Structure 1
Amino acid sequence: MTLFQQELLAGWGAPSASGAFSRLAPLPKVCLVLGFLILTVSFGRRAWCGCTLFAVVPYLLARAGGVSPVVLLRRASLALPFVLCAGAANLFFDREPVAVGAGLTLPGGVVSFWVLIAKTLAATGMVLLLAAVTSISGISGALVRLRVPCILILQIQLLCRYLLLTAEEARNLCNACLLRNPGCRIVPVRDWGTLCGRLFLRSVERANAVYRAMQCRLFHAGEPLPPGDTGTAGEWCGVGALLLVFVFLRWSLA
């Protein structure tokens, strides 16, 4: 279990990933997430009601998966600064009034801006929820079942592994820097360049050591990856029913 999964499962009284959503096989969960993402991005730029409802869905499913919705929302909100920079121009250029209720109208820029935020919270929250309740090997096995190219799945596995290594090395460098400067609470800006260069060299060295260890265990990139569990008929019925509900909400709230 990764540190990210431990944090999500530890918050606000969530004992473990033992909910109904967590017990699903990886393949039905991946198909559910893919269907949800497609329906989420298919909303128009003025469909504020449907996007708002879809933005709540991942955090409702989080409770069913034994995950803290508060921690999940905090993690998903890290993507909002990028969205704010991309959609802030709508507030100034789109002045067309849009009816949002009985006798209430708002500028189109405000509505489209909220739709963009809601889509971000919905998509990011659902992907993070999948990562919290499913191991990377389970997701990889589901992608094999979906006929995703093996080289792409392998890149995803190695990326997840090496990102953790880079984060660990960054934490060690920051701790070492602060221990050598007891009066500093943060790393001084003048040391950022040196630390980034050192982080790159240590990450490459650590990654090479990991790859050599994998080769010693007879790892070969050309070998096909094992497929994951397909899930039971009951799981597929539940996922299919949930997707039908999402489709109905998508077309009724468009």
Structure 2
Amino acid sequence: MKSSTPDQKTHADRSFTMFRWLTLLLLLLFSFISYSESSTVSVTGKTGGNVTLSCESEDREIYVVELNRLSKNILYCEKKCKSENGRVFKEGSCDVVIKDLIYSDAGKYTLNVYYNNDQTEVKPQTLKYHLYIHDEISVQEGEDLKLDGLLFNAYKVEHQNRISSGWKEVWRRDGGVSRDRLTDHDGHLTINEFTVTDTGTYRVLDYEGETLITVSVTESVLDWKGNLIDTDEDKTDDTEHRNHWMLMLPVGVFVIMVLMVWTDFVRFRRNLHRD
């Protein structure tokens, strides 16, 4: 068997090291892209509840606070605050609170905070949020269920029943409903004569595939006293799983980077001792 010369081994080691560092650079680039995409803060609220869009600034530096959505001003605060409706207001130095959440509140927001720098220059700080709304509905069999989630920025609605892990499309803006007993009228998706097969989770997606709303629908029955009984005891929120993986991704990339650097260091010391 022909053995490799020292020059061939050195060349192979260099090529292998270059390949590892190229992989490391690609991982760094992927990590940077992932971080850039996740720079939008995901905020979850429930219908009827309140949600806070938080920021971090010192009170003495704040000059102007404004909240925008789709290039429309929702809240503007300088000396006094002007709100589009009475449900949006500033709290503390620059936090914004949205009260009594409704489906149409779901979507993307931009918070601009202007603060003084040495009392001469005004610099903006821009924060982006994606507001996701969750709701829970219990319906008796045979009733009509109205899902008021067809927003102006909604692209499609999907359904996941209790015994399936997949999602099935039930409505699309450019295609209408795709299931019997469903009707679309003026932004209201109605399930006629509700049955147990209609239970599960419905989610509303925007044109970019981002979730705007999820509605967990369960069947309710009456007990012998005439009280409603919720038959669904397993309610999960897919956003928790999504946020979990988004947080774990940078950690995984960092661990891989450390392992690659450590492997190259051990290999370098081994070659050094061999020489």
Q: Which has the higher contact order (CA 8 A, sep 6+)?
A: 1
Instruction: Determine which structure has more spread, i.e. the larger CA radius of gyration.
Output: 2
TM-score range, shorter chain: under 0.3
- TM-score, structure 2 length as denominator? 0.21
**Higher fraction of strand:** 2
**Higher fraction of helix:** 1
- TM-score, structure 1 length as denominator? 0.23
